[in-house]
């Protein structure tokens, strides 16, 4: 990358972290965001925009999420460091990298195999060793690794998939965008011995979650 681009990245990065800090108060989350090089998870021709606060296209019609939302969603999991976390929608692998700095182990699933492979390779290259990436199976999530203390869904769902509630440990938290294909509400579900507690965290917009319990996989993504 040319020196002037490196300078732009450094300036953008400082400004972006300041912007995220207005919404995300957990210093562990801010620290993790400041340590993960977002540009490495992006196509080369877009890297100069890596620290602008917006989602950007990766491949296969998918996107790397907006950094502010990554901060909000990560904070909503309330991680202490000893958790097993499941991410649905590996995409670029960026969110998985952030989670890996905040939890003991991360399982991330992606339905588009080449994206899963690319994310897995860059995560390994950058030394995020407590992350396993899988190509998603038929059921949403990764039941083989359940139960999870935290589940984060980085794609939009019409409702909370029951299969994910089943994969969540009692005491665990599920963070998921729920709504229409155009606009969703970020929702946190806490699974308590007495049932599920639901909290709305604000509007957001994600690419669709496809599969049983979400949108049909045959529909355009």
Instruction: Report 142-171 residues binding ligand SAH (CB under 6 A).
Output: 154-155
39 is a site residue for ligand SAH (CB under 6 A)? no
Q: Is 177 in the site for ligand SAH (CB under 6 A)?
A: no
207 touches ligand SAH by CB under 6 A: yes
Q: What are phi and psi of 141, to 5 degrees?
A: 105, -155
Among 109, 131, 160, 164, binds ligand SAH (CB under 6 A): 109
Ramachandran bin of 91, using left for φ above 0, alpha for ψ from -120 to 50, beta for the remaining angles? left
Closer CB to ligand SAH, residue 136 or residue 160? 136
Among the listed residues 66, 95, 100, 120, the single contact to ligand SAH using CB under 6 A: 95
Cβ-based nearer residue to ligand SAH, 162 or 197 = 162
Asked if residue 151 lies in contact with residue 157, where contact means CB atoms within 8 angstroms, the answer is: no
Given a contact cutoff of 8 angstroms between Cβ atoms, the answer to whether 116 and 134 are in contact is: yes
DSSP assignment string, 76-91:
HT---SS-EEEEE--T
SS3 of residue 24 by DSSP: coil
Q: Compare residues 51 and 94 and give the one whose CB is closer to ligand SAH.
A: 94
- The Cα 153–Cα 160 span in angstroms is 10
Spatial distance between the Cα atoms of 110 and 65, rounded to a whole number of angstroms: 15
Residue 136 binds ligand SAH, judged by CB under 6 A: yes
As measured in angstroms, the least distance from the Cβ of 175 to ligand SAH is 12
Determine contact, residues 29/102, Cβ cutoff 8 Å.
yes
Among 112, 168, 187, 189, interactor with ligand SAH by CB under 6 A: 112
Show which residues are catalytic. Answer: 65
Instruction: Give residues in contact with ligand SAH (CB under 6 A).
Output: 62-65, 88-89, 91-92, 94-95, 109-112, 115, 136, 140, 154-155, 207, 209-211
């Amino acid at each position: 990358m040319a020196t002037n681009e490196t300078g732009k990245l450094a300036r953008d990065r400082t400004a972006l972290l300041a912007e995220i800090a207005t919404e995300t108060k957990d210093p562990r989350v801010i620290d993790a965001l400041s340590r993960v090089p977002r540009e490495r998870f992006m196509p080369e021709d877009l890297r100069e925009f890596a620290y602008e606060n917006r989602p950007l296209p990766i491949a296969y019609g998918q996107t790397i999420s907006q950094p502010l939302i990554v901060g909000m969603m990560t904070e909503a999991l309330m991680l202490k460091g000893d958790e097993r976390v499941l991410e649905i929608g590996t995409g670029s692998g960026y969110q998985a990298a952030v989670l890996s700095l905040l939890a003991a182990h991360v399982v991330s699933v992606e339905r588009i195999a080449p994206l899963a492979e690319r994310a897995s390779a860059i995560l390994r290259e950058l030394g995020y060793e407590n992350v396993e990436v899988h190509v998603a199976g038929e059921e949403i999530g990764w039941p083989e690794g359940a139960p999870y203390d935290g589940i984060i869904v980085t794609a939009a769902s019409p409702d909370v998939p029951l299969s994910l509630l089943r994969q969540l440990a009692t005491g665990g938290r599920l963070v998921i965008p729920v709504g229409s294909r155009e606009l969703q509400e970020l929702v946190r579900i806490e699974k308590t011995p007495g049932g599920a507690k639901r909290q709305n965290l604000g509007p957001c917009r994600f690419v669709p979650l496809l599969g049983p319990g979400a949108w049909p996989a045959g529909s355009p993504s």
